[in-house]
Structure 1
Amino acid sequence: MDQSSRVAKASEDGKSNVRAVERALDILLCFTTDSDLPMTEIAEKVGLHKSTVHRMLATLEDRGFLERDRSSERYRLGMRIWELSAHRSRSGDPAVICLPEMEKLRDTLGETVSLYVRDGSERIRIQAVQSNQAIRRVAPVGVRLPLYVGASSKVLIAFAEPSLAEQMMSSESLPPGIDPQGFRDQLDEIRRNGYATSLEEREPGAAAVSAPVFDLSGRLAAALSVSGPAGRFTPDIIREQSALVIQSATRMGSMLPG
């Protein structure tokens, strides 16, 4: 094999290795929305042939990144994932730093408290403290939600860099039911008030209020949200309690390094 052939083969091998890594990561990312999945559903989600997915699942299981329930043949995240997570630096993690304040707010208002950050055109719930009431909104951590609807979504847009709102208004992912100018006016009002509200925007029967969390450098770090059943968490109650949410968000921000 001549030099050019060896270089070409090495390049092709490198591309093949990268594709294998990408496919393995795509499989692991299937579990951001589901706790356990069968092989057939994983193959559908990642768009790969079942035989390819079967081989990759076997490798991920062998390395401890996935576990297989042999009775149901469903896969779930393995202990190796939790080992990696345990070694992640928590020194400036809002999900850890803000948790005590979130618990205090939950105890004061009696509703579910969540913390969101923006990732592209989505928001991710990075922390949650569930309401203790019998009828409540359950907020799983790690869930990704669209950035166009919901109180916390509007906060993450309104208080981000000014160019973000315009980028989103011109984005192809803008839902057809959203009026760009009306949305801009709503964002202006949110900036003036210092908080956002939502009533059954994303989920029927749910209401929420959200305030921005700024770190010590003044950068938007997260959105603090309180949500509950719309029948109990009414617009009047939300307005009355919005000041407490803003105060909690301010205290959280004072603990976050810039």
Structure 2
Amino acid sequence: MEDRKLTVRAVERALDILMCFTKGSELALTEIASQIGLHKSTVHRLMTTLEDRGFVVRDSRSDKYRLGLKIWELSTHLSHSDDPAVLLLPAMESLRDRLGETVSLYLRDGGERIRIQAVQSNQAIRRVAQVGARLPLYVGASSKVLVAFAAESDQEEILNAADWPDTVDKDTYRAQLADIMEQGYAISIEEREPGAVAVSVPVMDHNGRIAAALSVSGPVSRLSAETLRDFAPVLKESARDMGLMISS
């Protein structure tokens, strides 16, 4: 029984290591150890195994690790038939061409949102959105959409989580969620990142549950609050079409 527990723990630690690469493409051993809270010697043993199996590669010059070809090999066998990141990409590209700004698609994963797809603006000055980025739920237009249209029990779990920051007043946040529910979209002006603005709407499935958050973002120098509000009906139209696509 003890050996089985140790084996499971080792698998969990190896997966935690691989998830570190969602925050950076190249990481040093000390960075990985710090992120997952393990001693360097323990991480080194796990990295050696992952390297032997092709899941990570170590650059001998920088002594940093990056994901290996085995990850790519696994990803090629994913089923894309019902993957919203793949299924909705053409619609996102059409929306980008129509509005001229960066389009992103987010899912909620526990107490975070993750950007599962992005179509970058073609303009010289643009908002670059990194696919795979994990962001907190207490700030940003897409975060608030994902929370506003979630089940009430999920909302309370999110707001009462131990890591909810004391600097974000829950009553104010709840009032914002009510406004978003009423108007059907959320706007953020430099809430999470200086110089960046966004407008976001929910993508609902055939059961009326939120499936994703669709957003358009760009620089504050080009997109005023009024412009973002003008974008909202266009996003809602696209989100309705996307909802039909993922429900079919």
Q: Does 2:58 align with 1:72? A: no
Q: Does 2:169 align with 1:179? A: yes
Q: Does 2:116 align with 1:126? A: yes
Q: Does 2:194 align with 1:204? A: yes
Partner of 1:8: none
Partner of 2:16: 26
> Would you say the 8 A contact 1:216–1:255 is kept in 2?
no
Q: Unpaired segments of 5 or more residues in structure 1?
A: 1-10
Partner of 1:93: 83
* Aligned-residue offset at 1:49: 2.3
Q: Distance in 1 between matches of 2:81 and 2:206?
A: 15
* Aligned-residue offset at 1:96: 0.7
Amino acid at match of 2:179: E
Q: Distance in 1 between matches of 2:39 and 2:164?
A: 32
Q: Distance in 2 between matches of 1:49 and 1:183?
A: 39
Partner of 1:248: 238
Cα 1:171–1:45 change in 2 (3 A) is: closer
Among 195, 198, 203, the residue aligned to 1:213:
203
* Aligned-residue offset at 1:73: 1.4
* Aligned-residue offset at 1:59: 1.1
Indicate the RMSD between aligned Cα atoms, in angstroms.
Answer: 1.3
Q: Does 2:199 align with 1:227? A: no
Give secondary structure in 2 for the equivalent of 1:255. helix
Structure 1 segments (4+ residues) deviating >3 Å: none
Q: Distance in 2 between matches of 1:166 and 1:39?
A: 38
* Aligned-residue offset at 1:162: 1.9
Q: Distance in 1 between matches of 2:76 and 2:206?
A: 26
* Aligned-residue offset at 1:212: 0.3
Q: Distance in 2 between matches of 1:172 and 1:52?
A: 28
Aligned sequence identity (%): 62
Q: Does 2:184 align with 1:194? A: yes
Q: Distance in 2 between matches of 1:226 and 1:171?
A: 28
Among 131, 142, 151, the residue aligned to 1:161:
151
Give secondary structure in 2 for the equivalent of 1:256. helix
Among 126, 139, 151, the residue aligned to 2:141:
151
Q: Distance in 2 between matches of 1:197 and 1:70?
A: 46
Tell me which moved more, 167-176 or 191-200. Answer: 167-176
Give a deviation string over 1:147-177, Cα, whole Å, max 9, x none: 0110000100111112222233333322222
What's the TM-score, normalizing by structure 1? 0.92
Q: Does 2:10 align with 1:17? A: no
Partner of 1:3: none
Give a deviation string over 1:182-226, Cα, whole Å, max 9, x none: 222211111111111100110111110000001223221100000
